[in-house]
Amino acid sequence: MPSYSDVQKAVRVEKFRIWFAWLSGNAITLIIAGATRDISVVSTITQILFTVCFFLLTFVAIRMSNALNRKALAARREVLGDDL
């Protein structure tokens, strides 16, 4: 049975990975959008697709972070015996 501190450390690392992947993905999309800026039709399509993808990736990253928060809270309750 992992201790609360082990779970808390694992959650912190996973959150860092989630948000680093989110940041990296958005940086890549900005680079691609900048590269297609001079082609009018392709630029418009990529901007629309990347805007939709940005919102979807942000939504998924927030949901994953919230799930990790719930996991850490459940571990805290189990270890400390809290009834919040």
Task: Return contacts of 13-20, CB within 8 angstroms, 24+ apart.
Answer: 14/68, 15/65, 15/68, 18/61, 18/64, 18/65, 18/68, 19/61, 19/65
The pLDDT of residue 83: 60
Flag whether 83 is in a domain.
Answer: no
Q: Which domain holds residue 26?
A: 4-77
The pLDDT of residue 1: 62
Flag whether 49 is in a domain.
Answer: yes
pTM for the full predicted model: 0.77
Using alpha carbons, list the distances in angstroms from residue 61 to 3, 5, 6, 48, 64.
26, 23, 22, 20, 5
Number of domains in the chain: 1
Flag whether 82 is in a domain.
Answer: no
The pLDDT of residue 65: 94
Flag whether 27 is in a domain.
Answer: yes
Question: With a cut of 70, which residues of the chain have pLDDT below it?
Answer: 1-2, 82-84
